[in-house]
């Protein structure tokens, strides 16, 4: 004699739906005084821009 096997659940077919994308949000803040750095180098005034991004150390760009 053989034993009968019964399925207790039916496997689901893979779905073809795409995952919904996260909505990207650009957070803007008005300029602040500490962003702009003015120094005197060799008798002339130069400007630097201090930039901070999430997950990164502050960076200084310039001179302008």
Residue 56 domain-assigned (yes or no): yes
Residue 48 domain-assigned (yes or no): yes
Looking at residue 29, what is its pLDDT? 75
Where in the sequence is the domain holding 62, given as residue range(s)?
A: 32-64
Residue 44 domain-assigned (yes or no): yes
Please list the rounded mean pLDDT of every run of 10 residues in the chain (64 residues).
Answer: 73 78 76 86 88 84 85
Q: How many angstroms separate the first and last alpha carbons of the chain?
A: 91
Looking at residue 7, what is its pLDDT? 67
Q: 41 Cβ partners below 8 Å, 6+ apart?
A: 63
Residue 19 domain-assigned (yes or no): no
What whole-number distance in Å separates Cα of residue 60 and Cα of residue 53? 12
Looking at residue 1, what is its pLDDT? 62
The number of distinct structural domains making up the chain is: 1
């Amino acid at each position: 004699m053989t034993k009968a096997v019964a399925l207790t659940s039916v496997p689901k077919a893979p779905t073809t739906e795409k995952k919904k994308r996260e909505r990207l949000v650009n957070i803007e803040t008005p300029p602040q005084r500490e962003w702009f750095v003015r120094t005197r180098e060799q008798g002339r005034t130069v400007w630097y821009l201090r930039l901070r991004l999430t997950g990164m150390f502050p960076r200084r760009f310039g001179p302008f």
